[in-house]
Structure 1
Amino acid sequence: MDAEAEPRHLAFRAHGNHVVTCLLLESDMIITGSDDTTINLYDAQTGALLKTFQAHDGGIWSLQRDGDILVSGSTDQSIRVWSIATGKCLHLLQGHTMTVRCLAIVKPVRVDVAVDGSPVMRPEVPLLVSGSRDSTLRVWRLPLANDIPTYQAASLADVENTYSLSVLTGHQKTIRAMAAYGDTIVSGSFDCTVRVWKISTGDTVRLLTGHTQKIYSVVLDHENRRCISGSMDNSVKIWSLDSGSCLLSLEGHTSLVGLLQLNHGLLVSGAADGTLRVWNPDNGACQTILQHTAAITAFQHDGQKVISGSDRTLKMWDIRTGECVRDLLTDLNVVWKIQYDGKKCVAAVQRDNLTYIEVLDFDAVRDDLPETSQGRRVVVDSHGSEI
């Protein structure tokens, strides 16, 4: 947030001139998925390409990671489970009949206490939930790192019997967004509805109606027993999970609300109207409006700052004042994805009609990086060597 601090700026080519559809940032690695059918793993410090995961026949649309397990969903209608350490495909999960649009890994959490005082855990084992353009959700047992690989299994029935648990039906059109926690899934669809599902039974618990156009984003606020949806009807709605009623309808955007994030008690929405709006989700008050001049393509917030991509720039905002602290990147064609942690900000962008991953490391000062190197954009090749 210090406008004077200059980061170490690393940049490297990725996926030719294809779109980066997914971006994961771990402390030491960057994982990208693209519509070129591949997934790449990079060293976050050097930019070196460590692995390429290849087996999908279509573009990658969703990625999730749990330890050494990486899960990908594709336009080829399949889900693949990979070992990050070896780069090998361990499992091929099939059943969807159209693009796998969204994935969620659901870990066991305590949801209740039994009569004998023991914790009630849901789900009982780690699960994978997938949402598709075929209008269904599927629930799978999440393959573990030490499971016997089934990718070369003689019978797909063996894979289905091992991992496929249930198919959730009810939506009439594409499932565009989904979130899950404990025993609950929330899904938003192009059929203009939000559904709340009970994972253990596969039943629809609530059908939330009120949006008049396609739903593009959902958030599950399990602590406060509510969920939030953003729609092409320009509104954001906050729903009660218990009653199914619409608690608040947040108005102000003038175009599609495609992005939502709830963090530290603040809800931020990003829309095609070029604005990000910061809301109090308890009373629906709009606290600040952050103004770009073109559609918001990506953003992340942590309760203090918002980093957003739009109109050829990557900007950092003070979430409390609404002021733009600085432009982190300029002269871009487009910003596709953003991820940041306490030290690094990573953006997948198109620059000069070529795809780059740009890494801004704000820990460089503490690493005793010479001042002459701070802020200078260093482009490296696939080995991490400056070019």
Structure 2
Amino acid sequence: MTHRQSDRDPTYTRWVHNQHPKHITFPAHDRSVVTCLIFTHGRIISASDNHSIHVYDPITGNLIHSLDGHKGGVWSIAATKNTLVSGSTDQTVRVWDLTTGRCTLVFGGHTSTIRCLEIVKPEWIDVENESGTIIREKWPKRPLIVTGSRDHSLRVWSLPRPGDAEYKSTEESEIDPSEVGNPYHRLHLKGHDGAVRALAAQGRTLVSGSYDYTVRVWDIISGTCRWVLEGHTHKVYSVVLDIHRNFACSGSMDGTVRVWDLNTGQNRHTLQGHTSLVGLLGLSPSYLVSAAADATLKVWNPESGELQHTLAVHQGAITCFQHDEDKVLSGSDGALKMWDIREGTQVRDLLTNVTGVWQVVFKGRWCIAASNRDNATVLDVWDFGMEEGDEREDEPPDGIYDDDTDDEDSDQAEGEAMD
């Protein structure tokens, strides 16, 4: 893999050379652990193990909304435009209107903690029709929510549109939501023999990783399990997916990362080198990055399985990271570091001398981290487009997990069919 300096995202030079980015710090969630952090459409959204979800302004640090309703720690969130979905130890899924801060829907059905969830947006994919011809279709036909739970199962729900009827479960655990009239419930996916710890979904494909040592590949529309991927010798903690290149990757407590062929269900590569739990994975066009409890991150070529770099300066287990085609940001006990992903070299420290870094997200010129210092939980926000003291440019913050399109209009044209 070769790269030219001119291939760099122009914002990368700001990240490297701006030694005094605009930086604010503000308290969040008292002293609780921040379990989830996303940056979406100009909002910072953080969730914690003390039941709370907060929405902040990234420029001022002001609290916009406190989303109250969960009765247990919140361990998974996802957002699209003005809608947030959250999953909790209270066994419910909640849907929130981010413009008002109201909870509009509560879904019961899972019988244990909801540990992972995703919003699956429609996208064009290649499919084979009955005559064997490859055609392009848009799946799913409307946005979906997928949830994975410690109850060993996954559920698929329709993502409500603005103005759709509100629905709030009368019980925290409905054994079969379809029988009690939940119009948003679509599928209950059973088959795992252990907690579902991680999931990834695109188009019609859902991949789930479980404490039963397996990875399962599902058709998200029909509910069919296409493959049971066996090979790991311990719990699976992380999965990533690329339907356009037809592979998925999984990280396990056995210290390995496996790359799976979605066409055949075979193991393409077993990536070895970590010495303990691989709890986090990230995938971009050129790089697969794994982060482990052995205090290292490894950068791989996902196509060949070749190890590109080992990032080994942290002193403790990697607690969070994000990467793109230029950089990696990684957090561990005491520090948040930035790396050049192409060279495998450390660029700078963003945080030092903190008790722990729990979450980090970045997008464009913006970076947000959640950490603990001085026995308090804080959020740090950096704007790498500016030096301290500069006037703010008229550029609204953008966020991860979102694109710039409004799916709802195209969904209406596509219709409501779920196949």
1:133 maps to which of 134, 150, 171: 150
Q: Tell me by how many angstroms 1:110 deviates.
A: 2.5
1:235 match: 256
Q: Secondary structure in 2 aligned to 1:31?
A: strand
1:78 maps to which of 92, 96, 113: 92
Q: Tell me by how many angstroms 1:159 deviates.
A: 7.0
2:106 match: 92
Q: 2:41, 2:81 within 8 Å by CA — same for their partners in 1? A: no
Q: 1:3, 1:325 within 8 Å by CA — same for their partners in 2? A: no
Q: Distance in 2 between matches of 1:197 and 1:206?
A: 7
Q: 2:73, 2:89 within 8 Å by CA — same for their partners in 1? A: yes
Structure 2 residue 369 is the aligned partner of structure 1 residue 355: no
Q: Tell me by how many angstroms 1:369 deviates.
A: 4.6
Q: Tell me by how many angstroms 1:368 deviates.
A: 2.3
Q: Distance in 2 between matches of 1:49 and 1:56?
A: 18
Q: 1:27, 1:44 within 8 Å by CA — same for their partners in 2? A: no
Q: Distance in 1 between matches of 2:134 and 2:240?
A: 31
Q: Distance in 2 between matches of 1:204 and 1:283?
A: 27
Q: How many residues align?
A: 370
Structure-1-length-normalised TM-score: 0.91
Structure 2 residue 232 is the aligned partner of structure 1 residue 218: no
2:286 match: 265
Q: Distance in 2 between matches of 1:33 and 1:100?
A: 14
Q: 1:249 to 1:366 in 2, by over 3 A?
A: same
Q: Distance in 2 between matches of 1:97 and 1:296?
A: 30
1:373 match: none
Q: Distance in 2 between matches of 1:183 and 1:4?
A: 42
**Cα distance per residue 1:142-178 (max 9 Å; x no partner):** 1111102223889977874311111000000100000
Q: Secondary structure in 2 aligned to 1:362?
A: strand
**Cα distance per residue 1:320-376 (max 9 Å; x no partner):** 222111111111111100000111110010111210001111122398259xxxxxx
1:255 match: 276
Q: Distance in 1 between matches of 2:152 and 2:178?
A: 23
Structure 2 residue 200 is the aligned partner of structure 1 residue 171: no
Q: Tell me by how many angstroms 1:264 deviates.
A: 2.6
Q: Secondary structure in 1 aligned to 2:182?
A: helix
Please report the RMSD computed on the Cα atoms of aligned residues, expressed in angstroms.
Answer: 2.2
Q: Tell me by how many angstroms 1:66 deviates.
A: 1.4
Aligned-residue identity in percent: 48
1:344 maps to which of 333, 351, 366: 366
Q: Distance in 1 between matches of 2:54 and 2:335?
A: 24
Q: Distance in 2 between matches of 1:254 and 1:118?
A: 44
Q: 2:20, 2:388 within 8 Å by CA — same for their partners in 1? A: no
Q: 1:117 to 1:171 in 2, by over 3 A?
A: closer
**Cα distance per residue 1:72-122 (max 9 Å; x no partner):** 000000000010001111011110000011111112222347789985322
1:18 maps to which of 22, 32, 38: 32
Q: Tell me by how many angstroms 1:311 deviates.
A: 3.0
Runs of at least 5 residues in structure 1 that lack an aligned partner in the other structure: 371-387
Greater CA drift, 359-368 or 124-133: 359-368
Q: Secondary structure in 1 aligned to 2:183?
A: helix
1:38 maps to which of 48, 52, 55: 52
Structure-2-length-normalised TM-score: 0.84
Q: Distance in 2 between matches of 1:35 and 1:111?
A: 37
2:204 maps to which of 165, 183, 186: 183
Equivalent AA in structure 2 for residue 268 of structure 1: V
2:72 match: 58
Q: Distance in 1 between matches of 2:18 and 2:289?
A: 26
Q: 1:309, 1:315 within 8 Å by CA — same for their partners in 2? A: yes
Q: Tell me by how many angstroms 1:4 deviates.
A: 5.0
Structure 2 residue 230 is the aligned partner of structure 1 residue 209: yes
Q: Secondary structure in 1 aligned to 2:217?
A: strand
Q: Secondary structure in 2 aligned to 1:244?
A: coil
Q: Distance in 2 between matches of 1:249 and 1:159?
A: 44
**Cα distance per residue 1:2-42 (max 9 Å; x no partner):** 24521111011001100101101125210001111111000
Q: Distance in 2 between matches of 1:74 and 1:168?
A: 19
Structure 2 residue 308 is the aligned partner of structure 1 residue 317: no
